[in-house]
Chain A
Amino acid sequence: MAFWKGKSQAPDEDPPPTSLLARMRTGLRKTRDVLNTDIRDLFKSEGRLVDDPFLEELFARLIRTDMGVGPATTLRDQVAEEFRGRVVKLEEVLTNISRQTEKMLSGQSNALFEAPSGPTVILVVGVNGSGKTTSIAKLANNLHRSGKRVLLGAGDTFRAAAVEQLTVWAGRIGCEIVTGPPDADPASVAFRTAQRAADEKFDVAVIDTAGRLQTQTHLMQQLDKIRRVVGKQVEGAPHEVLLVLDATAGQNAISQARGFSEVAGCTGIILAKLDGSAKGGVILPIHQQFDLPVKFIGLGEGLDDLAPFDPKSFAEALF
């Protein structure tokens, strides 16, 4: 059932039957062979026959998480293969899938990288309205609270009042901010932020960028430039490039992850707006394809509404 196994496992090792279903199957195969019936069914007092309507319902549940047609089809077909004609509970099947999801997502670290010396530079990128500025505020607050000296860089010089927005947040958090005049070159703001962070021995510098669609090549090139200028100021910078994804986004998030990873070299994801009814399941195919760890989730508009990503609760909330 683990359709995403491929990435996380070394190709040479024989994959052990890690999934619960697989383990159960192995354990029970002998018994089944003898009885020529599936012993698991004998214990079921209630449940549903795995038939086409069942599989369709399962598929609907999977699709609603925004995981996409491909993964949902794979999962559905695997369940069909293993359970067709048998009696199971849909919820149990889903629980199983979430467990596997959890396992898959647990494989990666969600801790922020810390530069061994000098300031850690974090660049935050994403499409328009995904929640970059708010996420930066929350992240900065989080770091500030943990005793770090945080410097913000108001690199969104394009959108009206974006600089003011971040300045308001900086005031509320009580951290420093570097700003530039409206329509200034964002790279220059990033440059000055990195410079000041190095000179004044800040622990972390978080640089905001203007929202851009991954298809806008010229704006994407700008990110590359920002990367280069901060890299000249601080060795190894940016240490983290966090892509802010809107949890309500659908399959386009895959294209976002691809576009931003290619140009900006993303190191992680902040999944914003997960406090709504959207599930954010699109990070499953993103994980599969780009191996980008989710580092934080956004759960509201308040400064404290940022939590480290927890694969378990995320997976449980999926269905």
Chain B
Amino acid sequence: MFDSLSTGFQAAFKSIRGKGKLTEANMRESLQTVEQALLEADVSYSVVQSFMEHVTEQALGRRVLLSLRPDQELIRIVHEELVKLLGPVDNSLHLKKDGCTVLMLCGLQGSGKTTTCGKLAQLLMEQKVRPMLVAADLQRPAAIEQLKVIGKTLGVDVYADLENKDPVAVCQAGVKQAQASGAQVVILDTAGRLAIDETLMGELKRIDRKMSPDQVYLVVDGMTGQDAVNSAGAFNEALELNGVIMTKLDGDARGGALLSVKQITGVPIKFIGTGEKFDALEVFRPEGMASRILQMGDIVQAAREAHRIVDERDREEMERKMASGEMTLDDFKNMLEKVAKPGLMGKMMSLLPGMGQMKELLDSDEATGGIRQTIGAINSMTAQERRNPKIIDAQRRARIAKGAGVQSPVITQLVKQFEMMKPLMQGMAGGGTAERAKMLQQLQSGNLMNDLSMRGMKSKKTTGKRLSNDERLKLRKRREKELRQAKRKGR
């Protein structure tokens, strides 16, 4: 129990102490890692470049809080910025209060427009809105048939005209019929086309001009690579996009193209498609997507949790107390409680350099049990005792032990440990750099963890001056003299 407690304490302490600020030097490597991660997630090169510049700017000079290494803090910032860039969330389809809202879907071939049409129809019906689908894909064989089958499955009307070869006319007729039949939303399923196909892009522009749809959504395949900037850019230029839907995210694609598309178009991301079933359309959540793109979810999670449990004010207060040596058992308990949160301990430990095996140890019930026991013991003390543990005598000790349900030596040990830690912390929190480094070394050297009785630890701030034999002799003589004097007086 003792060693794990010490380790936990060390973790908590280091967390709160932090490790200074983010600088170009301590960020360089991590920035490279992040850049690589983004490129591997298929974020377009130019987007990665501007994003990395932005992140560096944001991160420089930021204090590294509870996250234990600068790179963890950096990744948290990267995640935060990714979320910002992917947001803000706007999942509304902006349906008109009355009349018929016209939605148009467009995109490359095979991006999933027709399936998404079905999914949107399903979503609308769930909201008690009556949709109608218009089969405006006159290119691909049986695309009309596909939409009809979807309509039949969902019980949604589909307008199709097998004879007509002009998508503009089909759309116009479709909307007219929708209005007549009282549908509240019309979804136009346009043909897939390449962004560089001028004829087909011209056709799309014509539909856009004639129909002036209320909302135009670009459907993007989640597996798209670097080309996403080009295609999304072209669609955005040809049409006024109102939103983006990314499909096929139920696989292992990281979907970095979404970042490119968002950067280029600037329009909100509405939904993501996560399956072939019609209910597999999820509202877009930037947090989840950012983690997916970065694939450093665990680190981000731990770093965020760390931020959550100790806010800046707490931290400064704690640091001040440590530096002045005013730490009480109460403060100690607070720290332990923060560290003992389920799951967090392990996460924090795994973030510490070279602490891999410690994680296992700390994940054990024994370790958290030990911390709980200590917290329990402190809880059984009076306020006075917590402020000044020196007053704990045998009688008090027995009472505390009974209250906490432990043997009284545990209490002795706890008090001893706390008293030993105090100067250490003071040294680290307030002392000069050299002294702090020494203390850290002592903490990390393993003495603390291996030597159960902590005998090996120096608890004094300095070891003091080394005395020569002569000096020691003098001192002893003086002490003996004082003792004799005291005896004489007492008599």
Contacts and interface: CB of A to CB of B under 8 A. Distances in A.
Given A276-B194, A278-B227, A250 B276 contact: no
A251 B39 CA distance: 9
A198 interface: no
A128 B46 CA distance: 28
Contacts of A141: none
B196 interface: yes
Given A128-B248, A129-B109, A246 B40 contact: no
A296 interface: no
A256 B223 CA distance: 10
A63 B45 contact: yes
A213 interface: yes
Interface stretch (B14-22, B121-129, B134-142, B323-331): B134-142
A64 interface: yes
Contact-size category for B: 35 or more
Interface in A12-56: none
B153 A160 contact: yes
A131 interface: yes
B109 A131 contact: yes
A215 interface: yes
A135 to B, nearest CB: 11
Interface stretch (A65-73, A79-87, A199-207): A65-73
A12 B44 CA distance: 40
B251 A250 contact: no
Interface string B232-252: 000000000000000110111
A152 interface: no
Given A248-B108, A276-B195, A277-B227, A168 B253 contact: no
Contacts of B222: 252
Contact of B225 (A167, A168, A250): A250
Interface residues of A, number: 45
Contacts of B194: 273, 275-277
A282 B225 contact: yes
B198 to A, nearest CB: 13
A170 to B, nearest CB: 10
Interface string A181-220: 0000000000000000000000000000000011110000
A256 B254 CA distance: 13
B216 to A, nearest CB: 20
A159 B228 CA distance: 26
Given A66-B225, A165-B140, A282-B225, A160 B253 contact: no
Contacts of B195: 276-277
Interface in B193-246: 194-196, 221-228, 230-231
B251 A127 contact: yes
B349 to A, nearest CB: 30
Contacts of B362: none
A213 B110 contact: no
A249 interface: yes
Contacts of A301: 109, 139-140
A168 B223 contact: no
B141 A165 contact: yes
Contacts of A134: 140
Given A214-B251, A277-B230, A277-B231, A251 B196 contact: no
A129 B36 contact: no
Contacts of A172: 141
Contacts of A275: 194
B256 A250 contact: yes
A246 B141 contact: no
Given A129-B110, A161-B148, A214 B225 contact: no
B231 to A, nearest CB: 7
A66 B226 contact: yes
A213 B248 contact: yes
A168 B142 contact: yes
Contacts of A282: 225
A167 B44 CA distance: 38
B166 interface: no
A284 to B, nearest CB: 13
A129 B109 CA distance: 7
27 contacts: A63-B39, A63-B45, A66-B42, A68-B39, A69-B36, A129-B110, A131-B110, A159-B146, A161-B145, A164-B141, A164-B142, A165-B146, A169-B141, A172-B141, A213-B252, A248-B108, A248-B225, A249-B224, A250-B42, A250-B253, A251-B225, A276-B194, A276-B231, A277-B194, A277-B227, A277-B230, A301-B109
Given A214-B251, A251-B40, 10 more contacts: A69-B40, A128-B248, A165-B145, A213-B252, A248-B224, A250-B224, A255-B251, A276-B196, A279-B227, A301-B139
Report the 9 A-B pairs with minimum CB-CB distance, sorted nearest first: A250-B225, A129-B110, A250-B42, A161-B146, A160-B149, A213-B251, A168-B141, A165-B142, A278-B227
